[in-house]
């Protein structure tokens, strides 16, 4: 179980590193900011990772419709026990805004239809909320 958290922590570092190197987002001061970043890791059921990745391409539209900012969508490749992991990162104005956005997504008729059409694909999920630092490129 500890290795799983290590993988998630490693992916978080990679996500922030990629954002920093992209250089297209201005730096935001964490002081006084309520912005949060949400890291979600889903472990796909056997043989369902590709279908999960395709579904998130559709889910992303609902996230944006309800005020979430997409930062990263990725498929884990290392270590071998994490190869069924799909990881994505969202940015929210605040923890309360995240809650409201998720309520909107989960009650959206189009989202409900997508989920009922594609069915359950994950066997477990891990969610972490983090506050960006002063030197974070997340805006």
pLDDT along the chain (139 residues), means of 10: 52 49 44 83 91 94 96 84 88 96 97 93 92 80
pLDDT of residue 10: 54
- pLDDT tens figures, 4-20: 555 555 555 455 444 44
pLDDT of residue 31: 52
CATH number where 92 lies: 3.30.70.100
Give the integer Cα–Cα distance in Å for 77 and 79: 6
User: Is there a domain that residue 50 lies in?
Assistant: yes
State the burial class of residue 10 (Cβ atoms within 10 Å of its Cβ: 0-12, 13-18, 19+): middle
pLDDT of residue 134: 84
Per the DSSP assignment, residues forming a β-bridge with 38 are 90, 129
User: Is there a domain that residue 37 lies in?
Assistant: yes
Give residue 49's domain range.
2-23+33-130
Phi and psi at residue 125, in whole multiples of 5°? -140, 155
User: Is there a domain that residue 135 lies in?
Assistant: no
Report strand pairing: 122-130 vs 69-75: unpaired
User: Is there a domain that residue 14 lies in?
Assistant: yes
User: Is there a domain that residue 59 lies in?
Assistant: yes
Phi and psi at residue 38, in whole multiples of 5°? -110, 120
pLDDT of residue 7: 54
Report the C-alpha dihedral over residues 81, 85, 89, 95, rounded to 10 degrees. Answer: -90
pLDDT of residue 72: 94
**What does pTM read for this prediction?**
0.72
User: Is there a domain that residue 45 lies in?
Assistant: yes
pLDDT of residue 70: 94
How many domains would you assign to the chain? 1
User: Is there a domain that residue 92 lies in?
Assistant: yes
User: Is there a domain that residue 68 lies in?
Assistant: yes
């Amino acid at each position: 179980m500890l290795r799983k958290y290590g993988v998630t922590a490693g992916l978080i570092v990679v996500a922030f590193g990629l954002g920093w190197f992209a250089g297209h987002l201005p730096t935001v001061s964490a002081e006084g900011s309520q912005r949060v970043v949400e890291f979600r890791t889903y472990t796909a059921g056997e043989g369902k990772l590709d279908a999960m990745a395709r579904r998130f391409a559709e889910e992303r539209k609902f996230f944006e419709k309800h005020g979430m900012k997409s930062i990263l969508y990725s498929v884990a490749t290392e270590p071998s026990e994490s190869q069924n992991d799909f990881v994505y990162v969202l940015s929210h104005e605040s923890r309360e805004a995240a809650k409201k956005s998720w309520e909107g997504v989960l009650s959206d008729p189009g989202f409900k239809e997508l989920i009922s059409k594609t069915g359950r694909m994950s066997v477990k999920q891990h969610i972490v909320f983090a506050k960006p630092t002063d030197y974070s490129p997340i805006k």
